[in-house]
Amino acid sequence: MAAERGLELVRELHRAAGGHLPPFRTEEMRQALEEMRALYERNQADVSEAKAGRTDLIFLIRFRHCCLLRNQRCLLAYLYDRLLRIRALRWEYGSVLPNTIQFHMSAEEVRCLRDHGEFEVDDGTTILLKKNSQHFLPRWKCEQLIRQGILEHVLS
């Protein structure tokens, strides 16, 4: 109950070879969120007692709160790292990822990838590409997207 489930998700990503996308761990995510809910509920009960005068619970409340924050950071790090890996794979493979990669993605990741692609340009600008959208960028920033047929160079 000391935020180990979230940490294990991060460790798994760290062990995965660079660029490799391990399967999305739905059950482990659910367990980590359940652990966070249980810690929060226990803290709420103890905070009520601490307000009534039980100062001996303050250390325990703080410890649980730190566990909650650690789990939150781990889950966010896990999701963000997956986002970066999917983005890199999208750049490498183009607009359609191979089934072997999509197999390791969650349904939400696949849906998001299908609905719109997210690309980061050299200067850190993030571009969301949606159907029938227009972006005014220098051609040199979009060469790969143009070659893949995702963007079209329009002369005005």
- Whether residue 136 sits in one domain with residue 103: no
- Whether residue 76 sits in one domain with residue 43: yes
Q: What is the reported pLDDT for 87?
A: 83
- Whether residue 104 sits in one domain with residue 132: no
Q: What are the residue ranges of helices labelled H in the chain?
A: 4-15, 26-51, 58-93, 99-102, 107-115, 143-147
- Whether residue 121 sits in one domain with residue 70: no
pLDDT (tens digit, 9 = 90+) per residue, 120-149?
Answer: 444 444 445 555 556 566 666 677 777 777
- Whether residue 51 sits in one domain with residue 91: yes
HSE, CB side, 13 Å, CA atoms: give it for residue 69: 6
pLDDT (tens digit, 9 = 90+) per residue, 55-79?
Answer: 899 999 999 999 999 999 999 999 9
* Number of structural domains the chain divides into: 2
- Whether residue 93 sits in one domain with residue 22: yes
CATH number of the domain enclosing 54: 1.20.58.1030
Average pLDDT over residues 89-107: 82
CA-to-CA distance for 65 and 11, rounded, in angstroms? 22
Give the domain range for residue 139: 116-156
Average pLDDT over residues 98-124: 70
- Whether residue 104 sits in one domain with residue 42: yes
- Whether residue 61 sits in one domain with residue 9: yes
- Whether residue 43 sits in one domain with residue 95: yes
pLDDT band with cut points at 50, 70 and 90 for residue 154: low
Provide the whole-model pTM: 0.69
- Whether residue 48 sits in one domain with residue 83: yes
- Whether residue 91 sits in one domain with residue 16: yes
Q: What is the reported pLDDT for 123?
A: 43
Higher pLDDT, 114 or 49: 49
- Whether residue 89 sits in one domain with residue 21: yes
Q: What is the reported pLDDT for 120?
A: 43
